[in-house]
Structure 1
Amino acid sequence: MKDTRSEIVRLASELIRSVGYNAFSYTDISKQLNIKNAAIHYYFPAKSDLGIEVIRQNSSYFTKRIERWKNLSNRQQYVNYITMHDGFIDTYWTCIVGSLAPAYDTLPENMQKELQKLVDLIIDWLTDILTKGKENGELIFSEPPRTKAYMIHSALLSSLLMNKVLRNDVYKSIQEGLLNI
Structure 2
Amino acid sequence: MNDTRSEIIRLAGELIRSIGYNSFSYADISKQLNIKNAAIHYYFPSKSDLGVEVIRQNLTAFKDRIEDWKKLDYRQQFVNYIHMHDSFINNYWVCIVGSLAPSYDTLPENMQKELQHLINTIIGWLSNLLDEGRKNSVFLFNESSKTKAYMIHSALLSSLQMNKVLKNDVYKSIQTGLLNI
Deviation readout 1:76-109 (Å, 9 max, x if unpaired): 1011000111111110000000010011000000
Q: Give ranges in structure 2 of 5+ residues lacking alignment.
A: none
Normalised TM-score (structure 1): 0.98
Q: Which residue of 2 aligns with 1:25?
A: 25
What amino acid is aligned across from residue 151 of structure 1 in structure 2?
Answer: M
Corresponding pairs, count = 180
Query: Partner residue of 1:145?
Result: 145
Letter of the 2:27 partner, please give it.
T
Q: Deviations over 1:126-156 (max 9, x none)?
A: 0000000000011111111000000000000
Tell me, what secondary structure is at the counterpart of 1:127?
Answer: helix
Encode CA deviations 1:36-55: one digit per residue, 9 max, x unaligned: 00000000000000000000
Matched residues in 2 for 1:131 and 1:94: separation? 27
Gapped regions of structure 1 (runs ≥ 5) = none
Query: Structure 1 residue runs of 4+, over 4 Å off?
Result: none
> Corresponding residue for 1:60?
60
Question: 1:81-92 to 2 correspondence within 5 Å?
Answer: 81-92=81-92
Q: What is the identity, as a one-letter code, of the residue corresponding to 2:36?
A: K
Partner of 1:115: 115
Q: Residues of 1 paired with 2:62 and 2:173: CA distance?
A: 24
For residue 70 of structure 1, what is the amino acid of its counterpart? K
**CA deviation after TM superposition for structure 1 residue 35, in Å:** 0.4
Distance 1:142 1:75 in 2: 17
Q: Distance in 2 between matches of 1:138 and 1:80?
A: 15
Partner Cα distance (1:132, 1:73) in 2: 11
SS in 1 for 2:91: coil
* Identical aligned residues as a percent: 74
CA RMSD for the aligned pairs? Answer: 0.7
Match of 2:168 in 1: 168
AA partner of residue 14 (structure 2):
E
Residue in 1 that maps onto 2:132: 132
